[in-house]
Structure 1
Amino acid sequence: MASFNLFNYLEPPNAFYEFQRIYSVGQWQKKQKWIADYLTAHQPDLIGFQEVFSPESLKALVAGLGYPYFYVVDQPKVTDGFIYSEPVVAIASRYPVAEVEPVSADTKLAADLGLKPGFSFSRKVLRARVDLPHIGFCDCYVVHFKSKRPLFEFLPESEGEQGKPLSGEKILLEQLKAQVAGGWGAAMQRGSEAALLFIDMLSRREASGFPMILMGDFNNSLAQEELSFLTTSELRFDVADESKPYLEKYRLYDAWDLFRAAATDQEKAGRERQPSHYYGARGSVLDYILLSREFDAGYQLSLFEVSDHATYDRHLINPVFDRDGESSDHGVLLVTLTLRE
């Protein structure tokens, strides 16, 4: 299974975000080929896509590569008939998909958290009930949490309130204030999205008992507090030993940790977790696949184990323009599950 951020996937002559940002025919063909080449080479069976502006184009592309099941639960925003913003997530599968729906934020819980009325996910979360071999129905969630882009920025004006020019210090100070407040606002949005989604997942798990898969662009590290609860293994207060199996039933596991736990020393040798995104020379892991205990080799009744975990990043660390000129700004995360003997 793969989590794949497509980075502005929009068929021309439409524009993404600004009227002049339009792929030429050649650029679009190069982007389509890059995606097809990856899927052909790596053959994921289940794919969670992010940054989709042209769902019908993507549906046609993946159908020709052996993915008969393709779904979205939202549409991007369009202004002036051709300028697109607010891309959506999508899922493609080789295996049957029985149900697809958006996850809605619990409005009462959102209000209890102090969130403003009408709170919603920055991108609608997709939930698909996929019929996987051997294990049966699984609830698969595809997400693209709020980015680190500040919720608002300071736009300096030439004059202050009394018509006096703003000093360089004053402009810098106002920019700093906006950065602090806007950045924290983005983190609050991202954490609220993750919390409301996870609570919905817990309720769904309780009702259906289906295994869970959560994949996508989290836009921050799981180690950060606003996301760390997604893989929590303990409650704040002491829990009796007999209660721990219930926690294990409902928690999620980072696929990387499951791979490391199941791999032999030889398989782990020299394997470090690869960044999935770079800001300048600094790499970070923003893309994840989280799994319930049915995919944990340490769980006695699990059917699968994580046998490989890889991030395709050639286009990020060693790009070739003719091949990678219209690729993605994220690595493609691929997790391989193997049936346990």
Structure 2
Amino acid sequence: MNNQSVVFFLMGPTAIGKSSLALEIKARFPQIELLSVDSKSIYQGLDIGTDKPKKEDLCKNFYRLVNIVQPQNVYSVIDFYNDATREIKNIIDSGKIPLLVGGTMLYFKTLINGFASLPPSNPLIRDYIFNDLFLGKKKKLFSMLKKIDKKSSKKIHKNDIQRVLRAVEVFFVSGGKSLSQLTEESIHIKLPYKIFQFGLVPHNKDFLYKKIINRFNNMLELGFENEVRRLYQRTDLTLACPSINSIGYRQMWHYIQKKCTYQEMINSTIQATRQLVKHQLTWLNNWPDILLVRDNQVNILIQKIERILTNNI
């Protein structure tokens, strides 16, 4: 096998330890380059709440697709596909091997299956739909989705406001064509590489949930509130921005607006993170062609990568 045609995927739920494992893998195999698959780490200024790698790790290891978008902007799945495929090619052309690391399963799925050709997202239209037409009511927005696109409403969780809003937006800007209809009509392009997929899963869910609590408490100690307050002071950021309307930032934003107590903010963030983890694990457990490795047996994964790199698969 030609190693330059190999691409590694490392997926896993929030707080499982993907980033530290990726750094360990890169230290052991210098031919590997890291590429982030995280829908929030792309944003500049969202550092503590996204648990980004430390600045020295980012500089030393050249973690691609981190800090590439201003937080007021919308970054679509197609944007990620275009950026990721470009960076994968750049890495391979340089004689290195890409290791894609993250927990945004939709991004990974898009790389595997290709993407549908959809109208570009427009933040002004999204803001109008959500705040003017539906008065910021998530239930009303989801009810609309069920009326215009039953297939998408069965695939998108009612609390995944960004995906619900995107599906409704597509209907409005495409002249009445649903997201599922456009997806079925579109041509899908797949990556021309040999992809090896690994999933890091918890050996004990309760232990992972404790890590989630400790992780968020550590964020608070590192100054997460001050980070969000700096974002809150900007006039170009609102909860309509995908960057702000994300786990942790949304709850802290509400606290700053005095819509909840400090403890309610903490409880809500931890609960939302746990729900995200359950969703991520569901994706992984139904993911085809993947090697699932428990987080206390990472040597199995490292040994597998070594065998692939030495052509002894």
Give the TM-score taking structure 2 as reference length: 0.30
Greater RCO (Cα-Cα under 8 Å, separation 6 or more): 2
Structure whose CA Rg is larger: 1
Give the TM-score taking structure 1 as reference length: 0.29
Higher fraction of helix: 2
Higher fraction of strand: 1
